[in-house]
Amino acid sequence: MISIEDITLAYRNIKPVVHHTPLLTSRWMNEQCGSQVFFKAENFQRIGAFKIRGAYNKILSLSPEEKRRGIVAHSSGNHAQGVALAARLLYVKAVVVMPKNSPHIKVEATQSYGAEVVFCEDSSDDRERVAAALQKEFGYAMVPPFDDDKIIAGQGTVMVEVAEELDSLDYLFVPVGGGGLISGCAVAARHYFPGIRIIGVETEPANDGQQSFRKKEIVRIAPPATIADGMRTQSVGRRNFEIIMKYVDDMVTVTDAQVIDMMRLLMQRMKIIVEPTGAVAPAAAFRHGINGSGKNICAIISGGNVEPSLLKQWL
């Protein structure tokens, strides 16, 4: 299991290339919540999401020989872009396996960073099979989306930045897909704010993490139909689950409708674009803070990459 030292080392490594994203606040939101709510705006991160942090930390840590051979990853979302940009910044060849029905805009973004895109069938199984075959054939190093110590340490750097700005924090809300972000952030948050309550958030259809947390073992669900595409993973990773069980205080859910409401609120009140997965933690914080507890709350906005056509539909 990683420690705070792994995260602070990762932070030193990635600091020159990532943005220190702002902690946004809104008077209106604070009044509604009766608490001070800080939104960690990773939608303003490079590639539009936190994924560059872990990807860069991972690829940087490869041996010179591995770097020479190149890397492979599979993703239909922000991890693809994170890997592609990190590889380009480190002069490493990247091959990204993407489902053939991936949004055109995401394929294009991944290619625009210089990665080679290889298409596969839509199932998780096929993605992994194609990536593993490429790994075997060409000797590429695999850059996994979440179940990896370097990835986890990289994502945890989000909380190092939060700790640089805030002296105290009572609650932390983090979205949970495969668990990369929450596991890194939980290790860091418990270090910087020992008494904090750390709360993982999923959408109701994608509540595998909550089920796993309650059952104390990893639960795998059928591919969930949820608006939050970052939560369509079927289970959290092994390393991620271990950290969640040790450091996370609770796992809660919000509905897809609450996610859309929060996206609208963030657009209208705070003038920011947030993708559905990015609105999940703010939605939970909003429901929580509304009790008027007078606490300091941080909710992580994980990203802002949303298709204009889908955004239009939700408005």
Tell me which residues touch a second copy (CB under 8 A): 22, 27, 43-44, 46, 48, 264, 267-268, 270-274, 304, 308-309, 311-312, 315
CB of 311 vs a second copy, minimal distance in Å: 6
CB of 272 vs a second copy, minimal distance in Å: 6
Handedness of CA 258, 260, 263, 269 (dihedral sign): negative
Nearer to a second copy, 216 or 271 (CB): 271
Residue 267 sits at φ, ψ, to 5 deg, of -70, -50
Nearer to a second copy, 132 or 310 (CB): 310
Nearer to a second copy, 133 or 311 (CB): 311
Nearer to a second copy, 244 or 301 (CB): 301
Q: What's the CA gap between 221 and 205, in Å, rounded? A: 10
Find out whether 175 and 227 touch, Cβ atoms under 8 Å: no
Nearer to a second copy, 222 or 315 (CB): 315
CB of 12 vs a second copy, minimal distance in Å: 22
Nearer to a second copy, 26 or 234 (CB): 26
Nearer to a second copy, 27 or 104 (CB): 27
CB of 36 vs a second copy, minimal distance in Å: 16
Three-state DSSP class for residue 198: strand
Find out whether 169 and 295 touch, Cβ atoms under 8 Å: no
Show the tokens assigned to 228: 């939050």
């190149």: which residue's tokens?
70
Find out whether 96 and 80 touch, Cβ atoms under 8 Å: yes
Distance, C-alpha 22 to centroid of its chain:
16
CB of 308 vs a second copy, minimal distance in Å: 5
Q: Residue 117: how many CB atoms within 10 A of its CB?
A: 18
Q: DSSP letter string over 104-124?
A: HHHHHHHHHTTPEEEEE-SSH
CB of 193 vs a second copy, minimal distance in Å: 26
Max CA distance (Å), the chain? 57
Show the tokens assigned to 269: 């009140």
CB of 52 vs a second copy, minimal distance in Å: 12
